[in-house]
Amino acid sequence: MTDDPANKLAYDETFSCIQCGTCLPACPTYKTMGKETQSPRGRINLVKMAAEKKIPLEAIREPIDLCLGCRACERVCPTNVPYGKILESAKEALFEQQKDASSLLKRLEENLFYKQIFPKHQVMAVAGSLLWFYQKSGLKNLAHLTHLTKLLPENLETFERATPDVHVRGMHRAEHVKNETAANYKVAFFNGCVMDAVFGRINDMSVKLLIACGCSVVIPPKQTCCGALHLHGGRRAESKELARRNIEAFEAEAPDFVINNAGGCGAMLSEYPQLFADEPDWKARAERFSQHSIDISVLLAKLDLPLKKTLNYRVTLQPSCHMTNVQKVVNEPIRLIQKLDGVAFHPLDDPDFCCGSAGIYNLINYEPAMEILDVKMADVQKQNPDVIVTTNPGCLLQMRVGIERERLQDRMKAMHLVELLAEACGIE
Ligand code: SF4
Ligand code: SF4
């Protein structure tokens, strides 16, 4: 019965869980839902039982769908349970089970998003331009004045309000931005898909910052979406295809580093080798790629920032879970914030607690995501910052939603770390 989707479950890995429960306090869904089935230990047990055919595969769908994939459980686990691998195997099995049962319309809709939108830079650029037109043409104001946005489902209405102003920079950006005079490093910049379409200004600032720190920057034109959304949706084959395209695109430039500024994408890039466990040639190429792939904060923390301004901000940091738990980047963003003149850093009491963004979790599982966000915002309010700094576009959007929910817009804002550093360096 090799075609049974349950055979895709990472059964052997479930045995490394000794049921100690150390992970329970670290799990945001256990904290907010209070059920064993919504904890790491409970989910691992369910996967094991489904692999043993003691329960139907369908019985694990809800607990797996409600897992944020933040991997805070992995970080605290004394036996190093590979929870990410178990989770991905469950997503893949559930996707395989459902794909033939989905309606034609749902399949068309999903294929449109996963195959025709996210991986295509020009389609994402057009989507960003349409959003820009909606915001700048007066349509957005009109929709709000006439309360048309109230007709949207609550999740879409919330994110419509929280989306930042999009800056249109055209589809054809410079691909090589050289700094021949004093290049510290040759770096290749990873754009991301949503990051480039909605937060393109932060990408532009990232490139300017790298150049200001003496790097030569290349933007490989054939790069594509990192594939994280696909993998987290159980679409492993599509994710591998995107990984292959990125590895080829960046190999061609032979950079010292591949730089990204989105914690979730960076985590995916760092785990490319795991996609190719059965393909030794591609695994070796993926390992070379991942060894060079780092978050922008890791490189900037090593270089001299050309600081020009005193900022006078009280700042807290909401770190990206994938940056903390997968890339293991923790100290560099803090060190960079602490270098800035006039910035007082006030860490969160529980920075490792996910904000509830988790890719598109907050769109699909809106209510649980808002409950998790409320826990995060209570911690934020204790620090009373002027600025919440984040290191991932999803967290940035979620923090903007949190500020709105708590009606703090008049005295608090959310910024990507790159925006804060660029402001301190006088870069726009
Ligand atoms: S996943 Fe790790 S921390 Fe959680 S119960 Fe199992 S062994 Fe303990
Ligand atoms: S990945 Fe996050 S939400 Fe999922 S079980 Fe682990 S700690 Fe809980």
Ligand 2 binding site (Cβ under 6 Å of any ligand atom): 26-29, 40, 43, 67-73, 83
pLDDT value for 360: 85
Q: Which of 43, 74, 97 is the last residue of a domain?
A: 97
Q: What confidence category does residue 147 fall into, taking pLDDT thresholds of 50, 70 and 90? A: confident
Shared-domain flag, residues 330 and 353: yes
Shared-domain flag, residues 296 and 184: yes
Q: What is the CATH number of the domain that holds 19?
A: 1.10.1060.10
Q: What is the pLDDT of residues 93-126, one digit of tens each?
A: 999 988 766 666 666 666 767 777 777 777 777 7
pLDDT value for 126: 77
Q: Is residue 122 part of a domain?
A: yes
Atom number in ligand 1 closest to CA 44: 1
Q: Is residue 194 part of a domain?
A: yes
Shared-domain flag, residues 66 and 151: no
Q: Which of 59, 78, 97 is the last residue of a domain?
A: 97
Mean pLDDT over 147-169 rounds to 78
Ligand 2 center to 102 CA (angstroms): 27
Atom number in ligand 2 closest to CA 23: 7
Q: What is the CATH number of the domain that holds 322?
A: 3.40.50
Model confidence at 127: pLDDT above 80: no
Shared-domain flag, residues 114 and 204: no
Answer with the residue of higher pLDDT: 151 or 378: 378
Shared-domain flag, residues 353 and 366: yes
Residue range(s) defining the domain that contains residue 39: 5-97
Shared-domain flag, residues 211 and 146: no
Ligand 1 center to 67 CA (angstroms): 15
Q: Is residue 169 part of a domain?
A: no
pLDDT value for 85: 96
Q: Is residue 308 part of a domain?
A: no
Model confidence at 180: pLDDT above 70: no
Ligand 2 center to 182 CA (angstroms): 44
Ligand 1 center to 234 CA (angstroms): 23
Pocket test for ligand 2, best of 33, 64, 67, 355 (most atoms within 8 A of CB): 67
Average pLDDT along the chain? 90
pLDDT value for 179: 56
pTM: 0.90
Q: Is residue 328 part of a domain?
A: yes
Q: Is residue 290 part of a domain?
A: yes
pLDDT value for 172: 43
Mean pLDDT over 15-37 rounds to 96
Q: What is the pLDDT of residues 51-85, one digit of tens each?
A: 999 999 999 999 999 999 999 999 999 999 999 99
pLDDT value for 163: 82
> Which residue has the CA at smallest separation from atom 7 of ligand 1?
17
Q: What confidence category does residue 45 fall into, taking pLDDT thresholds of 50, 70 and 90? A: very high
Shared-domain flag, residues 321 and 396: yes
Shared-domain flag, residues 336 and 414: yes
**pLDDT above 90 as % of the chain:** 72
Ligand 2 center to 24 CA (angstroms): 9
Ligand 1 binding site (Cβ under 6 Å of any ligand atom): 17-23, 40-41, 44, 73, 77, 79, 81
Q: Which of 81, 97, 113 is the last residue of a domain?
A: 97
Q: What confidence category does residue 352 fall into, taking pLDDT thresholds of 50, 70 and 90? A: very high
Shared-domain flag, residues 128 and 230: no
pLDDT value for 199: 87
Domain total in the chain: 4
Atom number in ligand 2 closest to CA 354: 2
Shared-domain flag, residues 93 and 110: no
Shared-domain flag, residues 144 and 218: no
Q: Is residue 307 part of a domain?
A: no
Ligand 2 center to 50 CA (angstroms): 19
Shared-domain flag, residues 201 and 248: yes
What would the 3-class secondary structure string for the chain be? CCCCHHHHCCHHHHCCCCCCCCCHHHCHHHHHHCCHHHCHHHHHHHHHHHHCCCCCHHHHHHHHHCCCCCCHHHHHCCCCCCHHHHHHHHHHHHHHHHHCCCCHHHHHHHHHHHHHHCCCHHHHHHHHHHHHHHHHCCHHHHHHHCCHHHHCCHHHHHHHHHCCCCCCCCCCCCCEECCCCCCCCEEEECCCCHHHHHCHHHHHHHHHHHHHCCCEEECCCCCCCCCHHHHHCCCHHHHHHHHHHHHHHHHCCCCCEEEECCHHHHHHHHCHHHHCCCCHHHHHHHHHHHHHEEEHHHHHCCCCCCCCCCCCEEEEEECCHHHHHCCCCCHHHHHHHHHCCCEEECCCCCCCCCCCCCCCHHHHCHHHHHHHHHHHHHHHHHHCCCEEEECCHHHHHHHHHHHHHCCCCCCCEEEEHHHHHHHHCCCC
